[in-house]
Amino acid sequence: MLIHYILLVVGFVLLYYGAEWLVKGSSNFARSLGVTPLVIGLTVVAFGTSAPELVVSLVASIQNKSMIAVGNVVGSNICNIALVLGLAAFLMPITSNQSVVRRDIPLMLAISLFLLLISWNSTISRFEGVILFSGVILYTIYNYMISKKESALLAEGCFSDAEAELEDIGFIESRTKQITLIIVGIAGVVIGAQVLIDSAVIVMRQFGVGEKFIGLTIVAFGTSLPELATSVVAALRKEMDISIGNLIGSNVFNILSVIGAASMVRPIPIPGGFFESGLIIDYCMMLGVSILTWVMMRKSFTVSRTGGFILLCSYIGYLAYLIPNA
């Protein structure tokens, strides 16, 4: 059975580097075609960093592992706020601009509530998937318009958050290298998702746990690795706005694009029922840590070290609840 543990690690690694190569290759390719850095940052980079969650949930949906498909997104969103933001803030207090508190977090909460409402009947239908995926298109257009407006207000020589993030990726002139990175990145994410799901199911079932626990913990943590690495490094570099901006944006994309695309491929049933399966508690946890973050930031626009510690303790407490109920 050692091989399955090795494959689990291989799946994590392929997901992480696959997403990184996909973002790097596709952003450089778009840049070489004359697409502006702002547009690339809001589309290619945003979708690319959510590629692990997207592919994992699509594969799980196709394989009729619906609890992994949903659990991956809900668990990843909890992980992004409670673990990743908590750890980043514990290392370095995170201060962001007012728009995150007044616009982005409330929007994330509204979308999370909508997901709860459409899950109420224990099924996310294709039509509801279309609504969600349409939302990500509108969200991207909205962000583009807002960023264009904000960029116009910046002093000459400054960059928006999206453009600054793209500058960190670097530029590759060779078209061959760009295309190679895209192909290898897609292959890495797709193969990594398949390997991760298969090995995680085998390993976790040795301990007698179900798909919901697998999706909410192991798979969710694996697909959150890019956000974890990005946010911790950003916090250590004192680039706080990039750290929290990535996490909020990722959570919105996870719900709209990942659940949306997965349910369009195949309606997502919730085995045992939304309430009976206990998924309602996981949804409430996702909403709870998001509200907690908003409360922490609503006046000072900062998540302090104490706040980061509270978020980390929330995640540990959540794991303590999941394990006995697995």
Domain boundaries defined on the chain: 2-263+274-322
Look up tokens 């702002």; give the residue.
Answer: 38
pLDDT computed for residue 147 by the predictor: 67
Q: What is the pTM of this model?
A: 0.81
| Closest to 36 measured CA to CA, from 139, 157, 160, 142 | 160
Distance CA 326, CA 319 (A): 10
pLDDT computed for residue 155 by the predictor: 45
Number of Cβ atoms within 10 Å of the Cβ of 259: 29
Distance CA 15, CA 193 (A): 7
Query: pLDDT digit of tens for each residue in the chain (326 aa)?
Result: 688 888 888 988 888 888 778 777 877 877 777 766 555 655 666 676 677 888 888 888 888 888 888 999 999 999 999 998 998 889 888 887 787 888 889 999 999 999 999 999 999 999 999 999 999 899 888 877 776 666 565 544 444 555 555 555 566 778 888 888 888 888 888 888 788 878 887 887 787 787 788 888 888 888 787 777 766 666 666 655 555 766 888 888 889 999 999 999 999 999 888 998 889 999 999 999 999 999 999 888 889 999 999 999 999 999 999 988 76
Torsion of CA 71, 72, 73, 77, to 10 degrees: 100
The architecture that CATH gives domain 2-263+274-322 is Up-down Bundle (1.20)
- Residue 308, both tokens: 């980061």
| Closest to 288 measured CA to CA, from 140, 4, 77 | 77
Distances in Å between the Cα of 26 and the Cα atoms of 18, 212, 277 are 12, 33, 40
How many CA atoms within 13 Å lie on the side-chain side of 143?
25
Contact 256, 142 (CB under 8 A): no
Residue 275 sits at φ, ψ, to 5 deg, of: -85, -45
What's at 155, amino acid-wise?
A: A
Contact 252, 76 (CB under 8 A): no
Look up tokens 């909403």; give the residue.
Answer: 287
pLDDT computed for residue 115 by the predictor: 96
Residues 50-88 as b or e (16 or more Cβ within 10 Å = b): bbbbbbbbbbbbeeebbbbbbbbbbbbbbbbbbbbbbbb
Torsion of CA 38, 42, 44, 48, to 10 degrees: 140
pLDDT computed for residue 222 by the predictor: 80
